[in-house]
Amino acid sequence: MSDVSPDEMQPNLDEPDGFPSRLKQAMGAKSIRGFARECGFSDTVLRQYLSGQSEPTRPVLLAIARAADVSLEWLAAGQATTDVLAKKYIYKETLAFEADWLQAEFPNSFENLLLTQVKDESMEPTLRAGDLVLVDTNSRDLEDIEHGVYMFKLDDRILIKRLQYHAGKTLRVLSDNSAYEAFSIEMTGKPSGLSIMGKVIWCGHKL
């Protein structure tokens, strides 16, 4: 580990690739609330660091580095060895889609498509871990959910599951893999902790 002086340990908040940018990279896909809890401070404080409104102290930097499993030197000053970066990030080949094809296949959602990766095997054989999927982020209203595969956030966890309304009052959450049990969410009022992120419409083929 390289030596960094106390002055170098103060993050630069003004540069384009400064501390707020590195903090976002360190968080990855973690939610603000969940990551703040791991670090031991409130989500309000974390938002201030992300926006550059506040400058973190050394103890805060240490807490963030431990929670994100990144180098303290990189987090504070952008310094890191190739080995550190290689452990933190996995680089993949660029995946290119022709704009004309996307517009032809998904004319109503072309401007609002999200590309993401399936993280587990709960939707096998329909979707396998590692599959890339396109999500139509137009379909985010709870009231407009129709039977299909959706990406949603439930209690700080991002899931891709099959959703189905039952009797208009219960939302059934189903996995195509029979090893995973289905469960229900009562839809009286707006369920706390549930947020629809979009409908999965493609995975090498239309869904």
Domain that holds residue 58: 19-88
Given 67, 88, 109, which residue is the final one in a domain?
88
Q: Taking the CA atoms of the chain, what radius of gyration do you get in angstroms?
A: 20
Query: Tokens at residue 128, please?
Result: 């396998």
For 134-167, what is each residue's pLDDT tens digit? 999 888 888 778 889 999 988 878 899 999 987 6
Q: Which residue has the higher pLDDT, 200 or 156?
A: 200
| 80, pLDDT greater than 70 | no
Given 41, 68, 88, which residue is the final one in a domain?
88
pLDDT of residue 7: 42
Q: Is residue 96 within 8 Å of residue 115, measured between CB atoms?
A: no
Confidence of residue 180 (pLDDT cuts 50, 70, 90): very high
Same domain, yes or no: 107 and 198: yes
Phi first, then psi, for residue 120 (nearest 5°) are: -140, -175
Same domain, yes or no: 50 and 129: no
Same domain, yes or no: 196 and 103: yes
The angle formed by the CA atoms of residues 114, 78 and 81, to the nearest 5 degrees, is 95
> In angstroms, what CA-CA distances link 158 with 19, 31, 124?
26, 9, 17
Domain count, the chain: 2
CATH number of the CATH domain containing 164: 2.10.109.10
Q: Is residue 196 within 8 Å of residue 143, measured between CB atoms?
A: no
Confidence of residue 106 (pLDDT cuts 50, 70, 90): confident
The answer to the question of residue 83 being in a domain is yes
Confidence of residue 79 (pLDDT cuts 50, 70, 90): low
Confidence of residue 10 (pLDDT cuts 50, 70, 90): very low
Query: Tokens at residue 199, please?
Result: 């409908």
Averaged pLDDT, 84-99: 52
pLDDT of residue 96: 60
* Mean of per-residue pLDDT scores for the chain: 79
Most confident of 76-80, 169-173, 186-190: 169-173
| 34, pLDDT greater than 70 | yes
Averaged pLDDT, 8-15: 46
